[in-house]
Amino acid sequence: MSLEHHHDTYAHSQTADVLLELNQQLIIVSEENKRKLLGDVNEARLREQNRARATAILNELERINPKVAQHFCAKSDSLADLKLRMIMPADHQPRQQIPSFIVVSYCWHYSSWISSPYAIVPGWEITKPMMDAVLGVRKSPDEGVWLDRLCINQGNENDKVTHIATMDTIYHSARRMAILLEDVHLSDDEESAGLAYAKFYDDMSREAGERGLQGAERIAFIDEYFPRQEKHYHECGRDGELAAAKPFVMKLLAARWFTRAWCAHESRIHPHRKVDNPLFMCFGPTGEVLSFEFRFVYYLAMYLDRLEPEDTNPNGVAWYESIPHPNHATLRQLWWRLSGLVQSHTEQCSPLQHLASITIFDCFRKADLMSIALNTAGIALYFDGQDVQSIEDVKWVFSLLVLAAGDLVPLVVKGPKLRVPSVEKQQVVSWAIDPPHITIEEHLENPLPQSITAVTGEYIELDLIVFSSQPRRASESSLAIAKRIIAEHDLESLAVHYLAAAPKEIQHPAQMLSGIVDRINAEITLAHAQAVLGNLDMIRLSLAVAIDAGLDWILAFPSSFAHATETWQHGIVDGIQASPPDARILSAASSLLSHLSPLSTDSEPHLAILTRFFNIILDPRSSQLCRSSRLLPVSPLLGDYAITTPASNRSYLAVPLCLAHLPPWHDYCWVIEPFDPSAEPEDPKDHLAPHPSTLEKRKKGEPEIKIEDFVPVLTTDYPDRRAPPRPQGEWRLRTKQALFGTSVPWDGEGLLKRVMEEEQDEVKVLRKQKVFGAESYDWTSIRKAMVAVTARALELEREEQDELLAGEVGGGDAAVGDAGLASAGMAG
């Protein structure tokens, strides 16, 4: 017996108390054998580049938050400390090498979970038929089995921390994974359908391989294989054997295993190879254990899902919008959840997505979610779990970690603000966002890491480009010109044609933005087209603000914007062009040029560019970037003007210096307000208009009632109410929005340096600004308050006019100001 084995007291006790009656033993693997079993992964984790990256992340963590940094360590240390134990047959000799091992993935048995009706083996907490089936999967008597409940000393905190840190290595290195669905008991019909379709899948895979099918031929063969087998069963009168295919799949996918975060981790980490594919194990009608390959269940669920109608939840929301809901009910939702367990996300995906996607699963210890996300993201660090009491703690700390890893996604992602624990205020609104569960943008490299100087749960300290101007609505004259050009040249119907001609991946987002999923066809009416696009007003606003920006800006816009969208998932926003150009586009370009430069003698080059400009604003993808265009003066250094959406009239627009280089589809423009951290928490009711009765307190005969005199918070279409910046450089972040259209690329060589050196009135670079969190304004409630005030103001106006006519009041011209009340609908 080896010295290591002899002195592993824990292994001896588990063998004596639990395993011996099953003719098994628990041994600790020698260091040499451990290196061979974990070799490939271990070497990868210990590569110099991974060690250097881990060190760099730790150093960055120490720089921006030393307190949090002390709870992270490099993974290389845990691999060296790992005591790898294996369940082996009782006659296995300690000096005998273990060539490979199986890992078991299952749900721990808690008192709140209804156990299987079959006997539970004491200590194992796994049903005996299941464990017998796992042991039967061994390739040879010398193959080990790794089961966390036994192979980790649950009474030793150091042993648990070390194993949690290396769980990815263990599950990745296993030859095969057995997934125990102990709460699944198939009926006779479900078993029949499952076994029949499993044979279809095996035969299909074997035949495709033997015939060497590739490419389109292979796809066509696979697409028609199941329908052909189903037709054969139908002709033979065996339809009944296949009838329960959907109940079979849904019962498997509804198992408790699919709700657990560690189970998701184990599946994502383990390689899903064609050979030795992971096995789902469940109970058959009479208690026997059945096994089905993961890839077969995945394919059958996908195949059956394709036969399903487009499903929505009872509120009419598309299926993918209810993904985070824990009670998945439809086959499509269950299949989506299964598809997320095939493997971890690609290296190009932001690490924040790894955390976001794992938080839809249940986890007893919230700190474990951090470890799972670190493992699946391939970050060679482990977390000791201290100082984490809630899921909100996990999310903001992981956002900090992602920033330390050089990824800017936490600064551009949109969603509800996190509320984090605070000693003084119990809970505060964080700068960090509760990340969405749908895929987040790819990793966004930070070119200026030193511009972020501190990060806590409450605030982030960083350098900001702050604009002194506010987004402004297009002038009335430009709006009139835009309306005339659109009407004269029939650009509405051309926009409909562009959407109908666009690829489906462009059509769908444009339609979803307006809440309509009807496919555009040749018979569509103009009124319906306008509803589908939600586009006519957007085109008019975009054209009008461009007219205000001037000819030079418009001429520079197409090239800069096309270049900025080259890497957008929807393609370059300059790509839907007729050849030769549509006559309506040419005539509209000519009209626009005549207005902007009536004396131009060299019009042909300008007309070509203006044609591209109209193609861009008519492109349905443009509506995804800005639907309520406003013009923001920036500075000559940054391209004179940018396009964005309205903000509040209490807010400044700012761009973190490290985000200035990003392409325009990222929401990198921050809407911020001066903030005093020592002030009392704000009350959202203070953002609303006072009761309409307040209007009656004004003196009769006043010349005008303005909506801005009664509503505390309005959009930037109303008078500026911004407070001056605080000398301490403290702000609160309301929301984020798109900012695009500058004719000068902001990542150009030396451009930002010039901005810092040549600060102008329109833009300033402010160093080490603290940005705290704040909830976005409740614009729905603000609009309702505006409507109430407006209605009462109009009543008062009528009353005063009646009094004047009756001669009861002399003099005075009390009228409701058109500018104040006519626009009470509030843009944005």
The tokens for 818 are 């058109």
pLDDT on residue 642: 92
Dihedral in degrees, nearest 10, Cα atoms 615, 619, 625, 631? 30
pLDDT on residue 825: 36
Of 22-26, 598-602, 620-624, 682-686, the least confident: 598-602
Of 152-161, 424-433, 694-703, 778-787, the least confident: 694-703
Residues 675 and 605 both lie in one domain: no
Q: How far apart are CA 106 and CA 258, in angstroms?
A: 10
What count of other Cβ atoms lies within 10 Å of the Cβ of residue 432?
29
State which of 461, 484, 508 marks the end of a domain.
Answer: 461
Question: Sorting pLDDT into bands at 50, 70 and 90, what band is 521?
Answer: very low
Residues 652 and 769 both lie in one domain: yes
Residue 457 has pLDDT above 90, yes or no: yes
Say whether 120 sits in a helix, a strand or coil: strand
pLDDT on residue 513: 39
Question: Sorting pLDDT into bands at 50, 70 and 90, what band is 504?
Answer: low
Whether residue 102 contacts residue 277, with contact meaning beta carbons closer than 8 Å, is answered with no
Q: What are the backbone angles phi and psi of residue 275, rounded to the nearest 5°? A: -90, 140
pLDDT on residue 734: 96
Instruction: Compute the average pLDDT of residues 570-598.
Output: 80
What pairs with residue 653 in β-bridges?
467, 671
pLDDT on residue 315: 47
Question: Sorting pLDDT into bands at 50, 70 and 90, what band is 321?
Answer: very low
184-210 residue pLDDT tens: 999 999 999 999 999 999 999 999 999
Domain for residue 385, yes or no?
yes
Is residue 348 packed enough to be buried (19+ CB in 10 Å), middle (13-18) or exposed (0-12)? exposed
Residue 613 has pLDDT above 80, yes or no: yes
Q: How far apart are CA 102 and CA 85, in angstroms?
A: 12
Of 117-126, 432-441, 671-680, the least confident: 117-126
Q: What is the DSSP letter of 443?
A: P
Domain for residue 344, yes or no?
no
Q: How far apart are CA 755 and CA 466, in angstroms?
A: 11
72-82 residue pLDDT tens: 988 876 777 88
Residue 821 has pLDDT above 50, yes or no: no
Residue 327 has pLDDT above 50, yes or no: yes
Q: How far apart are CA 816 and CA 793, in angstroms?
A: 7
State which of 593, 628, 663 marks the end of a domain.
Answer: 628
What is the SS3 string spanning 533-573?
HCCHHHHHHHHHHHHHHCHHHHHHHHHHHHHHCCCCCCCCC
Domain for residue 323, yes or no?
no
DSSP readout, 327-367? S--SHHHHHHHHHTTSSPPPTTB-HHHHHHHHTTSB-SSTH
Residues 790 and 647 both lie in one domain: yes
Residues 648 and 712 both lie in one domain: yes
Q: Are strands 101-105 and 176-185 parallel, antiparallel or unpaired?
A: parallel
Where helices occur in 185-293 by DSSP H, the ranges are 188-210, 215-235, 245-253, 261-269
Domain for residue 62, yes or no?
no
pLDDT on residue 41: 64
pLDDT on residue 124: 65
Higher pLDDT, 52 or 770: 770
pTM attached to this predicted model: 0.85
Residue 795 has pLDDT above 70, yes or no: yes
Q: How far apart are CA 264 and CA 241, in angstroms?
A: 32
Whether residue 194 contacts residue 248, with contact meaning beta carbons closer than 8 Å, is answered with yes
355-411 residue pLDDT tens: 988 988 888 888 889 999 998 888 889 888 777 778 999 999 999 999 999 999 999
Residues 504 and 457 both lie in one domain: no
pLDDT on residue 498: 76
Contacts of 319 by beta carbon, 8 Å cutoff, 6+ apart:
310, 311, 312, 313, 330, 332, 333, 336
State which of 594, 610, 628 marks the end of a domain.
Answer: 628
Residues 515 and 663 both lie in one domain: no
- Number of residues that make up the chain: 828
Nearest to 118 by CA among 291, 251, 256, 287: 287
Give CA angle at 550 (544, 551), nearest 5°.
110
Question: Sorting pLDDT into bands at 50, 70 and 90, what band is 791?
Answer: confident
Residues 273 and 220 both lie in one domain: no
Q: For the chain, what percent of residues have pLDDT higher than 90? A: 47
Number of domain units in the chain: 5
Q: What is the DSSP letter of 791?
A: H
Whether residue 144 contacts residue 24, with contact meaning beta carbons closer than 8 Å, is answered with no
Contacts of 26 by beta carbon, 8 Å cutoff, 6+ apart:
11, 14, 15, 18, 19, 85, 86, 87, 88, 150, 151
Q: Are strands 72-74 and 381-383 parallel, antiparallel or unpaired?
A: antiparallel
Domain, as residue range, for 539? 476-628
Q: For the chain, what percent of residues have pLDDT higher than 70? A: 81
Residues 180 and 195 both lie in one domain: no
Whether residue 334 contacts residue 267, with contact meaning beta carbons closer than 8 Å, is answered with no
Domain for residue 828, yes or no?
no
Q: How far apart are CA 172 and CA 638, in angstroms?
A: 49
Nearest to 728 by CA among 769, 771, 763: 769
Residues 713 and 612 both lie in one domain: no
Question: What one-letter code names the amino acid at 565?
Answer: T
pLDDT on residue 518: 37
Question: Sorting pLDDT into bands at 50, 70 and 90, what band is 747?
Answer: confident
Domain for residue 564, yes or no?
yes
Domain for residue 326, yes or no?
no
Residues 798 and 671 both lie in one domain: yes
pLDDT on residue 816: 34
Residue 281 has pLDDT above 90, yes or no: yes
Instruction: Compute the average pLDDT of residues 746-759.
Output: 71
Instruction: Compute the average pLDDT of residues 138-148.
Output: 94
The tokens for 709 are 């005199």
Residues 175 and 264 both lie in one domain: yes
208-265 residue pLDDT tens: 999 999 999 999 999 999 999 999 999 999 989 999 999 999 999 999 999 999 999 9
pLDDT on residue 803: 74
Is residue 232 packed enough to be buried (19+ CB in 10 Å), middle (13-18) or exposed (0-12)? exposed
Q: How far apart are CA 30 and CA 33, in angstroms?
A: 5
Q: How far apart are CA 268 and CA 262, in angstroms?
A: 10
Question: Sorting pLDDT into bands at 50, 70 and 90, what band is 87?
Answer: very high
Q: What are the backbone angles phi and psi of residue 703, rounded to the nearest 5°? A: -70, -20
The tokens for 11 are 């292994």
Domain for residue 468, yes or no?
no
Instruction: Compute the average pLDDT of residues 564-583.
Output: 70
Mean pLDDT score across all residues of the chain? 83
Residue 36 has pLDDT above 80, yes or no: yes
pLDDT on residue 744: 78
Name residue, tokens 């964005």: 644
Residues 622 and 659 both lie in one domain: no
Residue 49 has pLDDT above 70, yes or no: no
